[in-house]
Amino acid sequence: MFDKIDQIWKARDLRNNILFVLLMLVIFRFLAHIPVPGVNAAALKNLFASNQILGLMNLFSGGGMENFSIVMMGVAPYITSSIIFQLLGMIVPSIEEMQKEESGRQKINNWTRWTTVPLAAFQAYGMITLLRNSSAGILGAISPFNLFVMILTITAGSIFLMWIGELITEKKVGNGISLLIFAGIIAALPQAVQQIIVTFDQTQLFTILGFLVVAFITVVSIVIINEGQRNIPVQYARQIRGNRAFGGTSTHLPIRVLMAGVMPIIFAISVVLFPSMMAQFLIHAKTAWVAGLAQSTLTLFNNQLFYGVFYFLLVFAFTYFYTEVIFHPVQVAEDLQKQGGFIPGIRPGKNTSDYLTDITHRVTFAGALFLGLIAILPLIMRYFTNIQSLTIGGTSLLIVVAVVIETVKEIESQLTMREYDGI
């Protein structure tokens, strides 16, 4: 490990890239502690601590939402915009064709950035309205001008974070958006440890030890599943041109267990949050049946059993859905056939695509089941320990481990490239 660190430090451009990324993360955490004026910070933290839905929103905002900071929406609007265009790529043939070309992908990236602006403004207005309607006294009376300034400030903060995320990605030491979420999760760790120490009781010793064991097993499981893959053997036909022979090699096609990554959880959270957010808006409606329906919705989603089952099923279903989005067996089968490759014992063409589809579905089942269990792990731990501060954030652990693995691989690939170049 120390040899790798020494190599990184001696590679000047890589060292500068890593230092730049660290500086951007420090700037992000600094902005996350600059609150928008006129907020009761203590009441806001109590609200987020007692509401699991808002806790999920705070997770994907990078931790800035519970401070009502100028970057309170985090990269959530950008993620939402990206999801919209990924879904449009499945529905609109012209966008699907654009995704296959570099110039088309650049256009879609520009559209994604522009769409982030109104989404950030809308989400900022929604969160401000939600906090104004709450009974916790978080926001006082706000004039129309102050409301406009608050929305403008929060929107600018989200766009600034989007820009920082893209700058980080350009340095090729990890995905910028993932690293911003990662930084928010890690920043909350000291506070969680402090809360455990303050509320520590000797009778909780075995519970805490059990918690640490479960956390360790969870991290190991995430690494194994994240790196797990099914290797499908591929043989390339031997071709003779003149006096020279080409092909005839054997390789494999990797089918990853967790091909969809953390995107199914992000999709599921978006769906879980929508009914609760709408109910929060409508709970003070003047129409009795609308207010009653909103209250019933909130009561239903506050039921731990319903929330856990619904969340698990959504993650499970979205894992299959997103795998279908990013992996196309028909296209892979066509590419293999064009390159003279085939799977031993399987006919090229439709038989190959059907075989790949069957393998992908079976492998994805394990990944979907794992992601679903990770998503509801906090609820399981809360049920068995009944200690709020010991709740394991399964989603948080998954993101942290996945980002660390991805970043390490990026840095190792940079070092390997320099070895080949003789740098």
Q: Give per-residue pLDDT as tens, 60-95.
A: 665 667 777 888 888 888 888 887 887 787 777 888
The pair of structure tokens assigned to 152 is 């403008």
Q: Give per-residue pLDDT as tens, 405-422.
A: 888 888 888 777 766 555
Q: What are phi and psi of 233, to 5 degrees?
A: -65, 140
Q: Which amino acid is at 318?
A: F
| DSSP-derived pairing of the beta strands 238-241 and 244-247 | antiparallel
SS3 246: strand
CA distance 212 to 8: 32
Q: Which amino acid is at 376?
A: I
CA distance 361 to 382: 32
Strand partners, 256: 229
The domain made up of 1-187 is a member of CATH 1.10.3370.10:
yes
CA distance 196 to 389: 6
Letter string b/e over residues 23-34, b meaning 16 or more CB atoms within 10 A of that residue's CB: ebbeebbebbee
Residue 391: its pLDDT value, please? Answer: 47
Q: Which of 35-49, 65-79, 190-204, 308-322 holds the top average pLDDT?
A: 308-322
Give yes or no on whether 1-187 and 203-392 have one common fold: yes
Q: Smallest Cα–Cα separation from 385: which of 228, 199, 247?
A: 199
Residue 357 has pLDDT above 80, yes or no: yes
Q: Smallest Cα–Cα separation from 385: which of 205, 189, 198?
A: 205
CA distances from 362 to 158, 229, 369, 377, 413 (A): 39, 12, 11, 23, 31
Residue 132 has pLDDT above 80, yes or no: no
The pair of structure tokens assigned to 51 is 């509401």
CA distance 39 to 175: 33
Q: How confident is the model at residue 245 (pLDDT cuts 50, 70, 90)?
A: low
Q: How confident is the model at residue 156 (pLDDT cuts 50, 70, 90)?
A: very high
Supply the mean pLDDT for the chain.
79
Q: Pick the more confident residue, 78 or 36.
A: 78
The pair of structure tokens assigned to 146 is 């102050």
Contacts 24+ apart (CB under 8 A), 364-368: 364/257, 364/259, 364/260, 364/319, 364/320, 364/323, 366/225, 366/228, 366/257, 367/225, 367/256, 367/257, 367/258, 367/259, 367/260, 367/319, 367/323, 368/264, 368/315, 368/316, 368/317, 368/319, 368/320
Q: How confident is the model at residue 390 (pLDDT cuts 50, 70, 90)?
A: very low
Looking at 53-57, 101-105, 115-119, 363-367, which range is the least confident one? 53-57
CA distance 399 to 237: 41
CA distance 32 to 68: 8
Q: Smallest Cα–Cα separation from 410: which of 110, 68, 132, 8?
A: 8
Q: Return the DSSP state at 383.
A: H
Q: Which amino acid is at 340?
A: G
The pair of structure tokens assigned to 276 is 């609760």
Residue 2: its pLDDT value, please? Answer: 66
Q: Which helix (H) or strand (E) holds 111?
A: helix 102-133
Domain boundaries, the chain: 1-187, 203-392
| DSSP-derived pairing of the beta strands 341-342 and 250-256 | unpaired
| Nearest-10 Cα torsion for 35, 41, 44, 49 | 110
Tokens 């060292």 belong to residue: 15
For residues 235-241, give the mean pLDDT: 68
Q: Which of 198-207, 230-239, 278-287, 353-362 holds the top average pLDDT?
A: 353-362
For residues 286-314, give the mean pLDDT: 82
CA distances from 113 to 158, 160, 182, 269 (A): 11, 11, 21, 22
Q: How confident is the model at residue 159 (pLDDT cuts 50, 70, 90)?
A: very high
Q: Give per-residue pLDDT as tens, 198-228.
A: 766 666 677 777 777 877 887 888 888 888 8
Kindly state the percentage of the chain with pLDDT values over 70. 80
SS3 401: helix
The CATH class of 203-392 is mainly alpha
Q: Pick the more confident residue, 42 or 129.
A: 129
DSSP 352-375: HHHHHHHHHHHHHHHHHHHHHHHH
For residues 122-150, give the mean pLDDT: 76
Residue 118: its pLDDT value, please? Answer: 92
